[in-house]
Amino acid sequence: MSTTFAKDASSNGAAGGAHPVAGGAVGASIGASVRMAAISAVTNYKPISQPLNFADTPAQDLFCSNVFNKAEMKRRLPKPIFKSLLKTIELGEKLDPTVADIVAAAMKDWAIEKGATHYAHVFFPLTGATAEKHDSFLTPNNGDGSAIAEFSGSQLIQGEPDGSSFPTGGIRATFEARGYTIWDVTSPAYILENPNGTTLCIPTAFVSWTGEALDKKTPVLRSMQALNKQAQRILKLFGHTDASFVSATAGPEQEYFLVDRHFYFARPDLLNAGRTLFGAKPPKGQEFEDHYFGAIPERVLAFMLEVERELYKLGVPVKTRHNEVAPGQYEIAPIFETANLANDHQQLTMITLRRVAEKYGMTCLTHEKPFAGVNGSGKHVNWSMGSASQGNLLNPGDTPHDNAQFLVFCAAVIRAVHKHQGLLRAVVASAGNDHRLGANEAPPAIVSVFLGDQLTDVFEQIKAGGAKSSRSKGTLNVGVDVLPPLPKDAGDRNRTSPFAFTGNRFEFRAVGANQSISGPLVAMNTIVAESLDYCATKLEAATKGDSSKLNSAIQTLLSEIINECGDIIFNGDGYSEAWHQEAAKRGLLNLKTTADALPQLLEPRVEELFEKYQVLSKRELHSRYDIYMEQYCKTVSVEGNLTLKMARTLIFPAATRYQNELASACVNLKALGYECDTETLDKLTEVIKLLQGAMNELENVLRKDGGETLAEKAQHYCMDVIPAMTMVRKFADQLEGMVADDVWPLPTYQEMLFIK
Ligand code: ADP
Ligand code: MG
């Protein structure tokens, strides 16, 4: 670590790139020397590489330059092969395995022209991370000492990584470690560059030898199939029978923090837990709101430009960048894509953010709550569905007929969220996100839908009108009346809702910055598929093929849905106490923690949902529950042990050293005949004692097992360990405000957030 760091610091033009922990001026505390190093890194910042010049290489030329996309395939593949592949990519048809050898050869040639020596099957294990296994193209040529580059169809289609250490939730024992990676034709292969060589990366699904999903991609693909199938039935009722694939679409907005790397390495908590476990509130926080959309600092902007260039090359359509609310917090968002691709690209985005930040002497923090007391980071997942021929199905149309169709799709989403609030809460549950949800900066843990006043009014009118065919006051006739124009303007958004209609899509705002978007996408696709199935079944039964009955059937259906599920709609302030009470009255779930939320995955309605639409079998679902519960327990356990260790070995010693200094000063003053006021010493001694008590309590709690089942263990971590950690932190943070700055061992919030 120290060598990498020294190299980074010097290549950054940072003076005195000494290791921040080991180095530093004699006599100064670690905290102070790190601060000096970070200040030096910022003030001496010089661009590390040739300035990016989008005038020489325009962004449109860079875009997809490292992607084996449709244009590249068309150029390199025989026409029939290309056509066959397109059918799989665009219409979701089964892959014809006989094309694989030819595609593999073309892909290999393209990759080798780009300097690739290796290929890798890339997959997304249930840890939420990205995994890759690299293999060389080279095969020795029968004993003559030469080698040839080979890549066959079967190597493209299937790989067998040694996946034995990926979590499987009991699906596969370690001794039968066989897991297979299977080429996902719908997500294009790409080249990953490194100064020392390039690698052909092939997006794959990761399954056990029995075909069970061990990853986060497989269920996304399955849920997209389910959604398409049910959406087609609705479209058919409206006379659209071209069957062009209805795809879920997603646009994830990623929030993150940047801190100078000197701070990162000097904070064991950032290094090991991705968030600070200690740190007093700085005198200046985010209250001035001067950071939000403010000018982007030079080094940060340079980082952003490079991130964008790298992502363009990989075909990730990044669109917006800006400062977020908290100091040191930023956001990047792409243009939406089909859900599967958006998911892959989201993973690439996170990796790229981290990798490029290092180059600029910074660390990118994607934890949901790196700093207490300042805003946390979310990942708003914008979601809709659409097809090539019908466009966006959540876009209100211009004609009564289009509006009727829009209202059916919209009502299906409302019904789905109402029925599966528990599932939607469970898929955003994580130890990190628990610090964010409900903290008056992010949506509450209560799931509700924001529709906006106008659309709510439309549904109210439909509800009032029921099945009546004639127009009465305040009643809107589906299929006859045109909707009032709905606002699409971002200014009119309700930021406190976890699930908001934003003019032509829904925005799921409860997702955490560090989470894979796969879980939320799988949930949304599947619950909406189920709801569309419900709607289609009702409408088919009511019309029996007679399209003249469609409008009144829709009117009845919509009014039923709003009567049954309307309680999920809430347009007010989601942060308010009044909403918590109102939601309780409405019987909506309020699952505050991960330990409370994850058991929702085992609810019979959730099991049935995933089994019926063949997205996850019961075993696959349960394995996920186990893995996520374990992840929660492990995360809190690591944080608890780290809190104890840092308090014992960093904070307590600093506090007692300072205590000693004050005591000596007092003794000396008295010896000289001065009076000595011990007020500071008294207060300090008291807080040190409280800290000691809290550390002992945390140690006790950590020693306990917590229970037999995962659910019991999770509750133990949630109800016993976290509060004990919080107490240790409370006294440690008080000490930070008392102990002399030059002996305080940790970089402060002020430094980490504002030195950039
Ligand atoms: P805001 O911060 O106001 O919510 P942004 O422009 O940052 O808005 O993000 C909006 C996101 O929604 C973008 O990623 C955009 O591509 C995405 N989006 C737009 N239309 C759709 C759609 N039909 N399906 C999914 N995502 C969409
Ligand atoms: Mg948004």
What are the pLDDT digits (tens) for 644-681?
A: 999 999 999 999 999 999 999 999 999 999 998 899 99
Binding site membership of 335 for ligand 1 (Cβ less than 6 Å)? yes
Decide which of 86 and 2 is more confident. 86
Q: Following CA atoms 236, 238, 244, 245 in sequence, which dihedral angle do they give, to the nearest 10 degrees?
A: -80
The reported pLDDT for the residue numbered 185 is 92
**Ligand 1 centre distance from Cα of residue 251 (Å):** 5
Greater model confidence, 118 or 288: 118
Give the containing element (helix H, strand E) for 121.
strand 116-123
Query: Residue 231's pLDDT is what?
Result: 98
Cα(500) to centroid(ligand 2), Å: 10
Question: What DSSP element (H or E) covers 254?
Answer: strand 247-260
With a 6 Å cutoff on the Cβ, whether 381 touches ligand 1 is no
Whose atoms come closest to the Cα of 336: which ligand?
Answer: 1
Instruction: Please tell me the distance between residue 367's alpha carbon and the centre of ligand 1 in angstroms.
Output: 22
In the 8-state DSSP scheme, what is residue 483? P
Q: What is the pLDDT of residue 441?
A: 74
Determine the Cα angle at 558 with ends 555 and 559, to 5°: 85
Asked which of 372-381, 487-496, 720-729 is least confident by mean pLDDT, the reply is 487-496
Q: Does residue 254 line the site of ligand 1, with CB under 6 A?
A: no
Distance CA 421, CA 754 (A): 39
Question: Where do the H-state alpha helices sit in 647-742?
Answer: 652-671, 679-703, 710-716, 722-736
Check pLDDT > 60 for residue 627. Answer: yes
Distance 553 CA to ligand 1 centre (A): 33
Rg for the chain, CA atoms, rounded: 29
Q: Is the CB of 490 under 6 A from ligand 1?
A: yes
Annotation: CATH topology of 225-474+485-616: Creatine Kinase; Chain A, domain 2 (3.30.590)
Say which range, 43-52, 474-483, 734-743, has the weakest mean pLDDT: 43-52
Each domain of the chain, given as residue ranges in start order, spans: 1-44, 59-215, 225-474+485-616, 617-756
Mean pLDDT of 120-137: 90
At position 690, the amino acid (one-letter code) is: L
User: What are the tens digits of pLDDT across the range 562-579?
Assistant: 999 999 999 999 889 999
Task: Give, for ligand 1, the residue of 346, 394, 505 to mutate: max count of ligand atoms closer than 8 Å to Cβ.
Answer: 505
Supply 61's token pair. Answer: 């030329």
- Residue range 104-122: average pLDDT? 94
Whole-angstrom distance, CA of residue 458 vs CA of residue 464: 10
Ligand with smallest separation from the Cα of 324: 1
The residue nearest atom 14 of ligand 1, judged by CA position, is: 251
Position 38 scores a pLDDT of 79
Ligand 1 atom closest to Cα of 504? 23
For 672, half-sphere exposure in the C-beta direction (CA atoms, 13 angstrom radius) is 8
Mean pLDDT throughout 374-392? 95
Helix (H, G, I), strand (E, B), or coil: what is residue 182?
Answer: strand
Which of 166-175, 277-286, 376-385 shows the highest mean pLDDT? 376-385
Among the residue ranges 60-74, 139-153, 599-613, the one predicted with the least confidence is 139-153
Tens digit of pLDDT for each residue in 734-744? 999 999 999 99
- Mean pLDDT over 690-716 rounds to 96
- Cross-strand partners of 333: 320
Residue 143 has pLDDT above 80, yes or no: no
Q: What is the pLDDT of residue 450?
A: 94
Residue 90 has pLDDT above 60, yes or no: yes
Q: Is the pLDDT of residue 7 over 70?
A: no
pLDDT value at residue 51: 65
Amino acid 21: pLDDT: 37
Q: Is the pLDDT of residue 437 over 80?
A: yes
> Is any ligand 1 atom within 6 A of the Cβ of residue 378?
no
Q: Is 393 in the pocket of ligand 1 (CB under 6 A)?
A: no
Assess whether the C-beta atom of 382 lies below 6 angstroms from ligand 1. Answer: yes
Centre of ligand 1 to C-alpha 410, Å, is 17
Please check the confidence at residue 491 and state whether its pLDDT lies above 50: no
E-strand stretches of 42-111 = none
Q: Which of 352-356, 371-375, 594-598 has the lowest mean pLDDT?
A: 371-375
Domain 617-756 matching CATH 1.10.10.10: the answer reads: no
Computed over every residue of the chain, the mean pLDDT equals 88
User: Topology of domain 59-215, per CATH?
Assistant: Ubiquitin-like (UB roll) (3.10.20)
SS3 268: helix
**Nearest ligand to residue 506 Cα:** 1
pLDDT at res. 289? 65
Residue 290 — very low, low, confident or very high, per pLDDT cuts 50/70/90? low
State the distance from the centre of ligand 1 to the C-alpha of 335, rounded, in angstroms: 7
Eight-class DSSP state of 299: H
The per-residue pLDDT for 492 is 52
Grade residue 428 by pLDDT with cuts at 50, 70 and 90. very high
Residue 161 or 676, more confident: 676
- Cα separation, 660 vs 670, in Å, equals 15
Sign of the C-alpha dihedral computed for residues 703, 705, 706 and 711 taken in this order: positive
- Any alpha helices (H) in 314-399, and if so which ranges? 339-359
Whether the predicted pLDDT of 26 surpasses 70: no
Residue 15 has pLDDT above 60, yes or no: no
Please report the pLDDT score of residue 60 as a whole number: 84
Q: What confidence category does residue 219 fall into, taking pLDDT thresholds of 50, 70 and 90?
A: very high
Split at pLDDT 50, 70, 90, the class of 159 is confident
